[in-house]
Amino acid sequence: MITVSINGATRQFPEPVSVAALIEEMVLTGKRIALERNGEIVPRSAFTTEQLADGDKLEVVVAVGGG
């Protein structure tokens, strides 16, 4: 079981999960997002390879267009 903080809310997962899987679970696939893990931006190219670990702190920001 791992515990991570996502935008200040605690979430638990039964096993390590990739950033891509988390984004899919959060229904953000295909959206323009920025993800910061423990104070460092995670490049979109690393979403499938980056595995979340117990204690990670994530900030997820979704770009919103408008005018």
Which pLDDT score is estimated for 6? 96
Which pLDDT score is estimated for 41? 96
Backbone angles phi, psi at 35, to 5 degrees: -130, 130
Q: How far is CA 49 from CA 63, 64, 65, 66, 67, in A?
A: 23, 26, 28, 32, 35
Which pLDDT score is estimated for 53? 94
Cα separation of 45 and 2, whole Å? Answer: 24
Report mean pLDDT in 10-residue bins for the chain, 67 residues: 96 93 92 95 94 96 80
When the candidates are 3.40.50.300, 3.90.420.10, 3.10.20.30, 3.30.930.10, the CATH number that belongs to 2-62 is 3.10.20.30
- Could you tell me the residue ranges of all domains in the chain? 2-62
Which pLDDT score is estimated for 45? 94
pTM of structure: 0.86
